[in-house]
């Protein structure tokens, strides 16, 4: 089986989601190996628009296994909400797999992230405040 990797090298926000969405049509498995729900991406399929943050966009490309791997950080609250929104829109989410080795973002990670940004003031990194850095 051929493997295609999409790797970002710009601290996120490079447009990886759109590329993965394009490539997913020819894939059997679409996975995330790292990162979290910090940026997200919007995918249009026909006349419907989907906003994804943690679930791989391959979920919209038919019967693909979509894996959220052990190097990711996941807020279960966000993950469950995203699955519910997709399911409510008629998307089959039964082939979305979350590794039992994925790191969990807990409420204190989010608070630590936001407190750190506040403390840095003008020198703040500009994180999304979702606890991703502290969870790692």
Report the catalytic residues: 13, 41
Q: How many CA atoms are closer than 13 Å to the CA of 13, on its beta-carbon side?
A: 6
SS3 per residue for the chain: CCCCCCCCCCCCCCCHHHHHHHHHCCCCEEEECCECCCCCEEEEECCEEEEECCCCHHHHCCCCEEEECCCEEECHHHHHHHHHHHHHCCCCCCCEEECCCCEECCHHHHHHHHHHHHHHHHHCCCCCCCCHHHHC
Cβ count near 95 (within 10 Å): 15
């Amino acid at each position: 089986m051929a493997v295609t990797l999409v790797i970002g090298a710009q601290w996120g926000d490079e447009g990886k989601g759109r590329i993965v969405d394009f490539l997913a049509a020819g894939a059997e498995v679409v996975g995330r190996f790292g990162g979290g729900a910090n940026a997200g991406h919007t995918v249009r399929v026909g006349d419907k628009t989907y906003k994804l943050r943690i679930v791989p966009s391959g979920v919209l490309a038919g019967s693909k296994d979509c894996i959220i791997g052990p190097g990711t950080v996941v807020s279960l609250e966000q993950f469950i909400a995203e699955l519910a929104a997709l399911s409510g829109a008629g998307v089959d989410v039964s082939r979305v797999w979350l590794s039992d080795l994925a790191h969990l973002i807990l409420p204190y990670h989010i608070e630590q992230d936001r407190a750190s940004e506040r403390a840095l003031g003008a020198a703040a990194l500009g994180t999304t405040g979702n606890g991703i850095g502290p969870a790692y």
